[in-house]
Amino acid sequence: MTFPLGPFPASERLRFRIPRTSDARFYRDLMTEPDYIRFIADYGIESTEDAVAYIKSKSLARFAAQGVGLWLVELKENREPIGVCGLVVRKELKFPDLGFAFLSGYRGQGYGREAGRAVLDFATRELKLRTLCAIAHPDNKRSANLLTKLGFEAKGQRHLAEIGSTADYFVWKLRYVEAGLG
């Protein structure tokens, strides 16, 4: 597999990078949190070996196939992994999907908003995208609120076979394009 060497999103406090199999413990911790299982998915990650398999078969496979995926998000100051954020290309959606998940200890500190903004900036500047979408579990009010703060607009719900359920659907458009300046 080959992976993009950069550039990657960046922000004041956060560093983005492609996941490595050595990140398995972090992935296990993130993906076994109750909110992750409830609002995103239960991938059956019970061990670091399970997490390594997920990183290889899902995370790295997305980057290899599409050039984008969910980057691992670290604190710049100490390179501690705190979450994932990036773009997921789904066959069932017209636009790339902004996805994110953060360890519970790092929620409510503005990291999700900062990471989301960095990915939106990267998507418009580097990838030349003008429209993105996002999905959120209907009961996940925190994610819906974050998407709204980032400028996404709720556009009803979509049933996605890939996730096996119905999700709230949001769309973000580069504002200057709408104003006829793009």
Compute and round to an integer the Cα radius of gyration of the chain: 16
pTM for the predicted model, two decimal places:
0.92
Residue 43 has pLDDT above 60, yes or no: yes
Residue 67 has pLDDT above 70, yes or no: yes
Question: Is residue 2 very low, low, confident or very high in pLDDT (cuts 50, 70, 90)?
Answer: low
Residue type, 4: P
Domains of the chain, residue spans: 14-178
Q: What is the DSSP letter of 94?
A: S
pLDDT at 95: 95
CATH hierarchy code of domain 14-178: 3.40.630.30
Residue 176 has pLDDT above 80, yes or no: no
Residue 21 has pLDDT above 80, yes or no: yes
CB of 154 closer than 8 Å to CB of 170: yes
